[in-house]
Structure 1
Amino acid sequence: MSSPTSRVLALLELLQADAGAQGLGGAELARRLEVDRRTVRRYVNHLLALGVPVEARRGRDGGYVLRPGYRLPPMMFSDDEALALGVGLHVAGALGLGGITPAIASTQAKLARVLPAPLRQRLADIDATVALDLARPYAHGAPATLRALSAAARARQRVQLSYRAVPATPDSPSDTERAVDVYGLAWRGGAWYAVGHCHLRGALRCFRLDRVQHVQALPASFGRPEGFDVLAHLRHAIATLPRAHTVRVLLHCDPATARRAVFAELGTLTPHGRGVQLDTQADNLDWVARELARLPFAFSVQRPVALRRAIAALAARLLARA
């Protein structure tokens, strides 16, 4: 730390991070700040002059401590932390939460007002030059819904959802009321989802957040299945939605290679003998053919036969263009 000001702020950060009832001793603070104990006392006086309530606890194990309940996070960020902030704000803006854009802009403005000039410039560089290849949102969830359901999932509290589903038939109702145990939330393929046990259907279900009309906490708790993988279940549920074609392909590679190469939206991967089995549902076999054609390893189409014809037609078109 190159200046007394940065060391005073570092002292504040150390006191905030300390959870001990007796606080941090002067000798320990001097060692961490690389100064003598007299200088530590001077830094404490600086904080007191700024209105920061630092208390000195007496006794053999005594030390300096912040008054309970006081928090003032100083805006001190390393280069890596500044990078995390910049990229994090970029990601937040791309994740389809309607109405959150003003909050992102105000956060950026607050950071610009308090950060030192070099870090402020680094954030501006990221904002101007970094592009993220995220799936473009096709469904915008409400931030309030995300907050309510994530809080319910953490607290293991059952909720009542007013949910607008896609009707199974033209005459079936689309708006339903259902009690749900939310195990977690995930972003996939351009939309936010909540995954959990639906008491109306008596089974696991995935709910798109943009279709949730209202959330109400219920006076009931639940147990989350041990080791439940929210994203894995969501992938499987999306891949196995009923569509025009059921596709099964054997990939001639190991599971790690398959996970790196296969587009996540394509389907589910299961180790099978010396290869990996890809299962999915598709309405457009030409799209599946294009995705398979870009794989860097061999594969065998097990079903449907129409997919083999689609791959052959794609190959013919490419040869004609070449």
Structure 2
Amino acid sequence: MLETSARLLRLLSLLQSRPDWSGAELAERLSVTPRTVRNDIARLRALGYGIHSATGTFGGYRLGAGAALPPLLLDDEEAVAVAVGLQAAAAGSVTGIEETSLRALTKLRQLLPSRLRHRLDALRAATVSVGGRQGPTVDPGVLTAIAAAVRDRERLRFDYLSHDGTESVRTVEPHRLVHTGRRWYLLAWDDGRGDWRSFRADRLRLRTPNGPRFTPREPPGGDAVEHVLRGTGSAAWRYQARVRLHASPAEAGERIVPTAGLLTDDGQGGCVLETGGDSLHNLAAFLGTLDLPFTVLDPPELRDLLRILADRYRAAADGPQAP
């Protein structure tokens, strides 16, 4: 039989591993009586753990939130995952949590066994951040307020600054927060426009209080990420383009970052890219860097520009002509 302290840690680990446990299951796992389980549950509650219990056929125990943050048990892989997440947050796109993340990472590293510290130090030594290329940062209070409205199904009201500098007041039904790696976006049903819209979180200023509750609706296709990528990859640009890439979606996906546009399988071994740019020349240059054969579906102006560029490049490759 385990000593009391070791048994409490084992009991806590079991409660954290899944939502519900019956007293009989816990007693069997710990090789103790149900009475001992009840006593151990009382000890954990005294330490600040919120453990809910229910009687009857479907009764049991569930670990809930306590009044204070109690110790958390992590296995090796979970501890490394948390440490990596804190390291990324220290250089991430959310304002004001860099120092907090570093403090938490320092505390966690001190508690890690040597074998895990070596893994984390090796990862940190082998990793470099891309300086000067981060996207705009977002106040964490804005993200948590949006997340709460999504959870509670409450309408949001905010002032929004569009990419062309136009200011407007929006009332929306928030659906999801989407993080593309550089920016945070809110996908929501825009009441005023009567359609789905993507909003950059760093460009909105929330108004309080929130609006009334709403019945959630699903975006067409049910894919929040696809809607945001379609908007950020093409609709937000001055020029939009649809291009068929003569390569598999997997091959094309290795060369195109998600924020550059939306890739869809064309069902014929290739894929269609929906993208955009500030100018047709920028679009032509971007497509050239992919190093993949392609056919422009839209717009016709891009096809005309590619013909002009092809003649120009061909003349450059032929060299000076003899007089």
Q: Please, what TM-score do these two structures have when normalized by structure 1?
A: 0.72
Q: CA deviation at 1:284?
A: 4.4
Give the RMSD, CA atoms, in angstroms: 4.7
Q: Does 1:300 pair with 2:305?
A: no
Q: Does 1:90 pair with 2:87?
A: yes
Equivalences for 1:105-254 in 2 at 5 Å? 105-131=102-128, 136-166=133-163, 174-188=166-180, 190-216=182-208, 217-225=210-218, 228-241=222-235, 243=237, 245-254=239-248
Range with greater deviation from structure 2 (88-97 or 59-68): 59-68
Q: Please, what TM-score do these two structures have when normalized by structure 2?
A: 0.72
Q: CA deviation at 1:66?
A: 8.2
Range with greater deviation from structure 2 (97-106 or 117-126): 117-126
The answer for unaligned runs of 5 or more in structure 1 is 169-173
* Cα distance change on mapping 1:91 and 1:244 into 2, 3 Å: same
Range with greater deviation from structure 2 (247-256 or 140-149): 247-256
Equivalences for 1:59-74 in 2 at 5 Å? 74=71
Q: CA deviation at 1:60?
A: 12
Range with greater deviation from structure 2 (53-62 or 73-82): 53-62
Q: Does 1:264 pair with 2:258?
A: yes
Range with greater deviation from structure 2 (41-50 or 222-231): 41-50
CA contact (8 A) 2:187 2:197 kept: yes
Larger RCO (CA under 8 A, 6+ residues apart): 1
Rounded to whole Å, the distance in 2 between the matches of 1:196 and 1:208 is 11
The answer for unaligned runs of 5 or more in structure 2 is none
Range with greater deviation from structure 2 (229-238 or 271-280): 271-280
% identical equivalent positions: 32
Rounded to whole Å, the distance in 2 between the matches of 1:68 and 1:75 is 12
Rounded to whole Å, the distance in 2 between the matches of 1:154 and 1:55 is 22
Q: CA deviation at 1:301?
A: 3.7
* Cα distance change on mapping 1:317 and 1:49 into 2, 3 Å: farther
Partner in structure 2 of residue 10 of structure 1: 10
Between the two proteins, the alignment pairs up a number of residues equal to: 311
Rounded to whole Å, the distance in 2 between the matches of 1:288 and 1:109 is 45
* Cα distance change on mapping 1:148 and 1:179 into 2, 3 Å: same
CA contact (8 A) 2:170 2:192 kept: yes
Rounded to whole Å, the distance in 1 between the matches of 2:145 and 2:102 is 23
Q: Does 1:277 pair with 2:272?
A: yes
Rounded to whole Å, the distance in 2 between the matches of 1:196 and 1:112 is 39
